[in-house]
Structure 1
Amino acid sequence: MFELLKEQPADKILMLMQAYREDPREQKVDLGVGVYKNADGKTPIMRAIKTAEKQLWEIEETKSYTGLAGDVGFADAMFGLLYGDTIKRETVAAAATPGGTGAVRQGFDMIRMANREARVFVSDPSWPNHITMLKHLGIEMVPYRYFDSETRSVDFEGMMADLGTAKPGDVVLLHGCCHNPTGANLTLDQWQAVIDLMTRNGLVPMVDIAYQGFGDGLEEDAAGLRMVVSQMPEALVAASCSKNFGVYRERTGLLMAVAQDPARLKVNQGMLNHLNRQNFSFPPDHGARLVTMVLNDAALRADWEEEVREIREGVLALRVQLADELRRLTNSDRFDFVKQHRGMFSRLGATPEQVEKMRVDNGIYMVGDSRINVAGLNARTVPVLAKALVDAGA
């Protein structure tokens, strides 16, 4: 049997990680891996999470399974974080998943089970796993224009034109905030225009929100999502806690099916339970338990929100420093878009050849399309990257 298997293409980011590890240069810079890093290049455990872990160690009495959908308290806590008082809890079916990736995968599975004819419209570019998972599941993927490579901003006219070709029942996959890989976000007016188009054409939104709090603030980053779920008859929402709670290796995610008609709750919840059972049975609980404790404890939550603010403002400061340094070196404002982007990522507009030159000459590692993880920088390496960009002709 095994001789019939075909070798799968290597993940580009994982290959980049391997090349970075094997590079002997001390001054190398990793801007490829999509995890938050502090000024020392470490991905720390957040203060509130560390405190919650100590508390949990004292009070936890069993490692037995939770329910198929995970602990209900986790879903309740995340409901408040994501939606506030925008919609009612009884309109949302929810199931914990192994990370945001698991939530996206379960969402795609649910689409396939509900409507095998549905196509999924995906931004061009998007997180690579969106595309590979759809291909693996045999779901037709239709790209829609999103990023203007000249202005490094949202190509909204192109986006709306492409979404206008979608048929009733098709799904539109949207990034809730901090678009990965471009860092370019929709304005609230643009969110409303997309919602109006989806409503007119009978489309179904699916929102992947993985960076809430890393853009403009916890409430601000959820604004587009809240508009979607409060106005659309139904929606799928995949949420990740990896970044904003720093629990990457705990694999903590949540898939939610939102329906304005509360009568759909029972069927939707049953479907989420079924999908979990078929894929991994019971979801992991440790990270979900910690997130729940943080969100439900006033002191822990305040400390967590403060640390998220510190992270957000630190990344924004790096964006300003990089844009200003590039303006100084080029005597041009063509890189000012870096200040406008939000979240951990920006696409700089360098060619693959220029990206390779920066790797060879300067030990700077970024994805071939010039997407960088801004959080991989610090005050010392920002000038290094800026000079390398200019020297490479970007």
Structure 2
Amino acid sequence: MFETLKPQPADKILALVQMYREDPRDTKVDLGVGVYKDATGLTPVMRAVKAAEQKIWESQDTKVYTGLAGDPAFSDVMVDLVLGDAVARGNVAAAATPGGTGAVRQAFELIQMANPDARVFVSNPTWPNHVAILGYLGIETVSYRYFDSETRGVDFDGLIEDLKTAKKGDVVLLHGCCHNPTGANLNSAEWDEVIKVLLETGATPMIDIAYQGFGDGLQEDATATRKVAAAVPECLIAASCSKNFGIYRERTGILMAISADDSATGLNQGTLSYLNRQNFSFPPDHGARIVTTILSDADLRADWQVELEEVRKSMLGLRSQLAEELQRLSGSDRFGFLAQHRGMFSRLGTTPEMVEKLRVEHGIYMVGDSRMNIAGLNAQTVPVLAKAIIDSGI
């Protein structure tokens, strides 16, 4: 049977990681893989996470299953973290998932169950796994304009024009904050216009919020998601705890389904539990329990927020340093967008050939579409990257 299998395309980011490992140069810089790194190149365990794990270790007396949707306490703290009081809790069905990717996958399967003919509108570009999973499930994907390679900002006129072609039964996939891979975000007025189009077309928004707290602040990064959820009759939200809690390997995420009528919540909740059962039965609990412990304890939550804010400001500082160094070397402000972007990523807006030149000649590793992980830099490597960019003629 196995002889009929065909080779699958290699994951470009994982291939880049392997190439970086095999590169003998001491001056090489890894801006590919999307994980936060501190100034020493380490992805540390946050203080609050260590303290929460200690509390769990001391108090937990069973490893029995929690439930198909996970521990309800995890759903409660995550709904509060992402939505605040924007939507009544009784209108939100929620289920824990293996990471934010698991939430995205479950959301797409829910869409397919609800409307087999649904089209999912995705930004150009978007996180590659969005398109890969949609393709695997056989869901029609429609690309909408998003990134302007000239300004390195949002092509908002193109975005609105494309979203106006959506119709009732379609889904519009939006990034809640810190757009991956571009780092370019909508402003408040632009979000209002997107909501207006969603209401006019009847399309359902799905928000992927994977970087809450990495952009403008924990509450600020949730503003757009809350605004959309409060304005539309139905909404899907896929949230990840990997980045803002630093628990990547614990695979901790959640899918929320919001309806205007709380009488629909029971059906939605049952459907989310059913999907979990079909795909992996019970979701992992350790990461979810860490998050629940932190968000339920005033002292741990306060310490977590302090450390998260340190992470956020570190990335903003690196952005500013890089933009300033590029301005000094080029005598131009054409790289000012780097200081305006938010989150871990920015997209240079250059060609794959130039990206390859950076790797071969300068040991700078970034994804072929010119997405670079700002958190992969430190104060010493920023000048190295800036010089490589200018020397390469970007």
Q: TM-score, normalised by structure 1?
A: 0.99
Q: Where does 1:1-394 land on structure 2 (aligned, <5 Å)?
A: 1-394=1-394
Residue identity opposite 1:275 in structure 2:
L
Residue identity opposite 2:338 in structure 1:
V
Q: For the residues of structure 1 that align with 2:283 and 2:315, how far apart are their CA atoms?
A: 32
Secondary structure of residue in 2 paired with 1:21: helix
Q: TM-score, normalised by structure 2?
A: 0.99
Residue identity opposite 1:223 in structure 2:
T
Q: Deviations over 1:49-89 (max 9, x none)?
A: 01101111100111111100000000000111111111111
Secondary structure of residue in 2 paired with 1:256: strand
| Cα shift at 1:362 | 1.4
Secondary structure of residue in 2 paired with 1:172: strand
Q: Deviations over 1:239-288 (max 9, x none)?
A: 00000000000000000000110010010000000000000000000000
Secondary structure of residue in 1 paired with 2:289: helix
Q: Deviations over 1:213-245 (max 9, x none)?
A: 000001110000001110100000000000000
Identity %: 67
- RMSD value over aligned CA atoms? 0.6
Q: For the residues of structure 1 that align with 2:248 and 2:381, how far apart are their CA atoms?
A: 25
Residue identity opposite 1:274 in structure 2:
Y
Unmatched runs of 5 consecutive residues or more in structure 2: none
Q: For the residues of structure 2 that align with 1:113 and 1:251, how far apart are their CA atoms?
A: 25
| Cα shift at 1:149 | 0.3
Q: Deviations over 1:272-306 (max 9, x none)?
A: 00000000000000000000000010000000000
| Cα shift at 1:350 | 2.3
Q: For the residues of structure 2 that align with 1:229 and 1:259, how far apart are their CA atoms?
A: 9
Secondary structure of residue in 2 paired with 1:237: strand
Q: For the residues of structure 1 that align with 2:386 and 2:73, how far apart are their CA atoms?
A: 46
Residue identity opposite 2:357 in structure 1:
K
Q: Deviations over 1:6-40 (max 9, x none)?
A: 11100100100010111111221100000000000
Q: For the residues of structure 2 that align with 1:53 and 1:293, how far apart are their CA atoms?
A: 9
Q: For the residues of structure 1 that align with 2:197 and 2:165, how far apart are their CA atoms?
A: 11
Q: For the residues of structure 1 that align with 2:182 and 2:243, how far apart are their CA atoms?
A: 17
Give aligned pairs, total.
394
Give structure 1 regions of 4+ aligned residues with deviation exceeding 3 angstroms. Answer: none
| Cα shift at 1:349 | 1.9
Secondary structure of residue in 1 paired with 2:70: coil
Secondary structure of residue in 2 paired with 1:218: coil
Q: For the residues of structure 1 that align with 2:172 and 2:350, how far apart are their CA atoms?
A: 29
Q: For the residues of structure 1 that align with 2:380 and 2:144, how far apart are their CA atoms?
A: 38
Residue identity opposite 1:173 in structure 2:
L
Residue identity opposite 1:361 in structure 2:
E
